[in-house]
């Protein structure tokens, strides 16, 4: 079932939609994708310790930042 609604959008979004053939379908897909992303990962619900541990094991983190993360993890665990 389809329902017609009126929403306010930024000018740059209007420009993006102007290039789309089926604007309603494009917006529906975008909204569904955003909902999936929000459902998959809500960083507010992720434990700080878990985030720090995962950051510490990344290859794109400098050694000095890894040392800071380790220090923070030590203080959290104490």
Q: Which residue has the tokens 């993360």?
A: 69
**Per-residue confidence (pLDDT) for residue 78, from 0 to 100:** 67
Residue 10: pLDDT band (50, 70, 90) is very high
Supply the pTM of this predicted model.
0.51
DSSP code of 61? Answer: S
**Per-residue confidence (pLDDT) for residue 22, from 0 to 100:** 95
Kindly report the number of other CB atoms within 10 A of residue 69's CB atom.
Answer: 19
C-alpha pair distances (Å), 67 with each of 19, 53, 54, 74 = 48, 12, 14, 11
**Per-residue confidence (pLDDT) for residue 48, from 0 to 100:** 87
């Amino acid at each position: 079932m389809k329902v017609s609604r009126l929403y306010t959008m930024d000018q740059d979004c209007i420009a993006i939609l102007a290039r789309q053939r089926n604007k309603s379908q494009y917006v529906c897909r975008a909204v569904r994708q955003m909902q999936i992303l929000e459902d998959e990962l809500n960083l507010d619900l992720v434990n700080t310790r878990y985030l720090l541990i995962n950051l510490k094991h990344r290859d794109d983190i400098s050694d000095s930042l890894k040392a800071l993360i380790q220090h923070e993890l030590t203080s959290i665990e104490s």
